[in-house]
Structure 1
């Protein structure tokens, strides 16, 4: 059966019922809601189909769209797998009763931070926030000013309009950054920091991948992004410098099976596959993310965990206060 790939947009949101329920044969196809990008989703699902013979179809969108969809469909899911998204969003879906319990045998050697306590989600790669700098634009715009190396350096008034960060109401990347500041500084000082920083932000795109892309095209000098995205564009020759500031946040990109999944057996096989060193090395080859599987090798040019200074990030707290934090964000900043 030929694989069908569905690009997730406003139009496909309206017609996805038709796309996912045409005939009985479609029931044999593993259906995935994907938060990771099309390039890696296509590569991973193609390899999975090649290895297992199980056909795959997927819908891809931003974290907020996908997670809201998963929760709203929890009693009658239109897909079997939730692929990608930081752990706080999987916790949110789990709390809503939308995730299935599955203890994969492939998870036994993974670090504890990558496996949920109730086995509803499992991490497959490490995500770490940092600062990206377009070195050419930075040198032209800010001669004599040092490249920012800490979060506080981004408050320099000279940088007004030259920083791009993701909208936290739409993307897990942006929300992770907000939580990074609130948890490292405390609530009061954290909000003071975020409000001050917002005065320097030139754009709040909805997609988590946008800051790195906009840096790569030279539209901004500075971006707040996952370090792996900056490293990837740098490796492609865009002249970006990844900076790992002290007291940053690390999380994991996760995979989960949806509650009441119609293709449970195939879904379990896909989770096992995503936790394998083969799948995670393929993911790292495309994205420069750091594998969770200790047997998987990191892509040359990616930022090493040994270079990071991470806070003790409280994932549960980030999930529990998400609605309140985003409400305050919309009232205070955007």
Structure 2
């Protein structure tokens, strides 16, 4: 299996969104009734605190079921014809986006939306990078994510690619300058493109094989192969002794 290396970016006008509270469409008005049924996808003690605090403040009985995000999505989908859940609270954004795409959840715009800080309301309007050199542009400061080469084979491949393209000294100089635009170095090679899909980063450096899956899930990502060239690796499998 051959995989190319490339930067990945979302649609240039992708906004910043936090998806943690979603109402199911058929029961979006349930908060006006006497009971609220909640699927909770955060830590159990948080779910318990939410249950008791909201019930006390709102005067509504709250039934909470703790589910992982995958379990919650599966349950809401299974109950599509006869929804039993009012609110799905917490969990990562990806399953919530999947639920929205399947029309399992309702659109909700908080009345506090206008109180967000300007940076949270602003939409990114960045030029599309076409080369490794483009990633050094000052407008990308804090907008690029790359995995840690010490823990990620993909990021190690990035370093090896740059050394082969530029020569060792030039590659290390490039990485030092690129560091100014990097927002974080996660341990996993998949994490950067996930961050792009969630709107947490504008650009990611990763294997091109990761891009189609994100696009198939409906995320506005675009894969680009740098003009100077890119590296590749061959996927492997080994038998362990013993």
**Higher helix fraction: Structure 1 or Structure 2?**
1
Gaps spanning 5+ residues in structure 2: where?
16-121
Q: What is the aligned partner in structure 2 of residue 5 from structure 1?
A: none
Deviation at 1:183, TM superposition (A): 1.1
Displacement of 1:146 after TM fit?
2.5
**Equivalent in 176, 181, 195 of residue 157 of structure 2:** 176
The equivalent of 2:113 in structure 1 is none
Q: Does 1:126 align with 2:108?
A: no
Is the CA contact (8 Å cut-off) linking 1:137 and 1:220 kept in structure 2?
Answer: no
2: CA distance, partners of 1:235 / 1:245: 22
Cα deviations by residue, 1:123-144 (Å, 9 ceiling, x for unpaired): xx222111100113389323xx
Work out which structure has the larger RCO, using CA pairs closer than 8 Å and 6 or more positions apart in sequence: 2
Following the alignment from structure 2 to structure 1, what is the Cα–Cα distance between the partners of residues 231 and 194? Answer: 21
Distance 2:136 2:14 in 1: 18
1:1-334 matched pairs, under 5 angstroms = 125-135=1-11, 136-137=13-14, 140-142=123-125, 145-246=126-227, 247-258=229-240, 261-262=241-242
Partner SS, residue 3 of structure 2: strand
Cα offset for 1:257? 1.5
Deviation sequence 1:155-196 (CA, Å, 0-9, x none): 001111111100000110111101111110001111110100
Give, in angstroms, the shift of residue 231 of structure 1: 1.9
Aligned counterparts of 2:154 and 2:14: Cα–Cα separation in 1: 24
Unmatched segments (≥5 aa) in structure 1: 1-124, 263-334
CA–CA distance in structure 2, aligned partners of residues 137 and 165 of structure 1: 20
Structure-2 separation of matches of 1:187 and 1:129: 18
Count the aligned residue pairs: 134
Q: Equivalents in 2 of 1:235, 1:152: separation in Å?
A: 29
Looking at structure 1, the residues matched to 181 and 159 of structure 2 have their Cα atoms a distance apart, in angstroms, of: 15
Q: Secondary structure at the match of 1:211?
A: helix
Structure 1 residue 226 displacement after superposition: 0.7
C-alpha deviations, 1:187-223, integer Å up to 9, x for none? Answer: 1111110100011000100001101111111101111
SS in 1 for 2:123: helix
SS of the equivalent of 1:132 reads: strand
- Once the two structures are superposed, residues 273-330 of structure 1 have per-residue CA deviations (whole angstroms, 9 ceiling, x without a partner) of xxxxxxxxxxxxxxxxxxxxxxxxxxxxxxxxxxxxxxxxxxxxxxxxxxxxxxxxxx
Secondary structure class of the residue paired with 2:178: helix
Q: What is the RMSD of the two structures over their aligned residues, measured on CA atoms?
A: 1.6
When normalised by structure 1's length, the TM-score is: 0.39
* Counterpart secondary structure, 1:256: coil
